[in-house]
Structure 1
Amino acid sequence: MTAELLENTQDPAGTSAFIFNQTAPGPAKPWSWAENLLASAHTYWLVTTSPDGVPHSRPLWGVWDQDTFLFSSQNRCGRFLEVNPRASVNLQVGEDVVMIEGSCSRVIAVDEINVLAEAVGVKYDWKLSVTEGRVHTQFGQSAPVFRLTPQRVYGWAGIAEWESATRWDFPRAR
């Protein structure tokens, strides 16, 4: 195994983030802190932009898996992502803040979509069936599946605890 491959499988190092016109005094949070919050969150907010640049924000369910965020959406944000794949995902509740910034891509392969469907079944007790490029509910709805690949993640512990604001830079292969 090459040194480069070993380096790419390590967790990203957090650095103090620039926030409120200054660098947070720290200490920086470990990646495991942010990753645990991303994995355990129940609801997330997805932010996209329309083709004419209007922000669009909506709550959704999703799954943090191997340094990517998987979700499905039959909402207009899916159409927006076809035009501009840049997006942000944020935790919905709690005092702790974690924000992912990155690019979305469609997930087509059934085996990859099964990762989302199985995780949604466990996490939300919601059964999904899978076909190429889509998930389907028991009520007849169908939606494309997307993967948000992070380029940068920000987080800090507690709304008032901005001193711990941390930035983790991506990408890296797993």
Structure 2
Amino acid sequence: MTAEVLKNAENPKGTSAFIFSQTAPGPTQPWGWAENLLKSASTYWLVTTSPDGRPHSRPLWGIWQRNTFWFSSQNRCGEFLKVNPRASVNLQVGEDVVMVEGSCSRVIGDDINVLAEGVGVKYDWELSVSEDRVHTRFGQSAPVFRLNPERIYGWAGIAGWESATRWDFPQS
């Protein structure tokens, strides 16, 4: 396990989030609520920025492990992340909201197995691993990334803004 992943191993403490031009009155959501949603979601939306500043969003599969979001993509977002590693990932479902903001880094070596094993368990989808990519049984391959969270926002229910919570992750 890399030092980058280890530094996010502790659970963050939530505080009331500033949203809709005011601080949510609370009570805040517990971290376990957000973590459960991040682990159990089937589809996520990844938002990156193209080199000319246009936002780019796309649905994808991923896993939440070790307080980090792991994914692979053969889409152009991988090229965008080389220019600007800042990204956001959101749950596909909008009733209970969890939004992760942070920076992405490319995963190489043994850490690729975190994604391959997690995808196998979560989606029953077999991926083989090489030094710098995952591969499907259909011959497709893609680089692996992890989004290291800096801040996560979440609230329960469409009208649940009162519970809007912000979790900050320490940065090196």
Which TM-score band (shorter chain)? Answer: over 0.9
For 2:164 and 2:100, how far apart are their aligned partners in 1? Answer: 14
Count of residue pairs the alignment pairs up = 166
Q: CA deviation at 1:10?
A: 3.7
In structure 1, what residue type is equivalent to 2:136? T
For 2:9 and 2:74, how far apart are their aligned partners in 1? Answer: 33
In structure 2, the partner of 1:114 is 113
SS of equivalent to 1:113 = helix
Higher mean C-alpha deviation, range 80-89 or range 111-120:
111-120
For 1:131 and 1:24, how far apart are their aligned partners in 2? Answer: 46
Contact 1:74 1:142 in 2 (8 A): yes
Structure 2 length-normalised TM: 0.93
For 1:8 and 1:125, how far apart are their aligned partners in 2? Answer: 27
Q: CA deviation at 1:73?
A: 0.2
Q: CA deviation at 1:94?
A: 4.6
Question: Which portions of structure 1, spanning 4 or more consecutive aligned residues, are displaced by more than 4 angstroms?
Answer: none
For 1:71 and 1:8, how far apart are their aligned partners in 2? Answer: 17
SS of equivalent to 1:29 = coil
Structure 1 length-normalised TM: 0.92
Contact 2:8 2:66 in 1 (8 A): no
In structure 1, the partner of 2:133 is 134
In structure 1, the partner of 2:12 is 12
Contact 2:9 2:67 in 1 (8 A): no
In structure 1, the partner of 2:25 is 25
For 2:130 and 2:39, how far apart are their aligned partners in 1? Answer: 25
Q: CA deviation at 1:93?
A: 1.4
Q: Aligned pair in 2 of structure 1 residues 122, 28: CA closer, same or farther (>3 Å)?
A: same
Contact 2:8 2:67 in 1 (8 A): no
Q: CA deviation at 1:133?
A: 1.1
In structure 1, what residue type is equivalent to 2:19? I
Q: CA deviation at 1:15?
A: 0.4
Identity fraction in percent: 80
Contact 1:39 1:64 in 2 (8 A): yes
Pairing 1:54–2:54 present: yes
Q: Counterparts of 1:12-91 in structure 2 under 5 Å?
A: 12-91=12-91
Structure 1 residue ranges without an equivalent (≥5) = 1-6
Contact 1:29 1:166 in 2 (8 A): yes
In structure 1, the partner of 2:154 is 155
For 1:11 and 1:145, how far apart are their aligned partners in 2? Answer: 24
Contact 1:9 1:172 in 2 (8 A): no
In structure 2, the partner of 1:4 is none
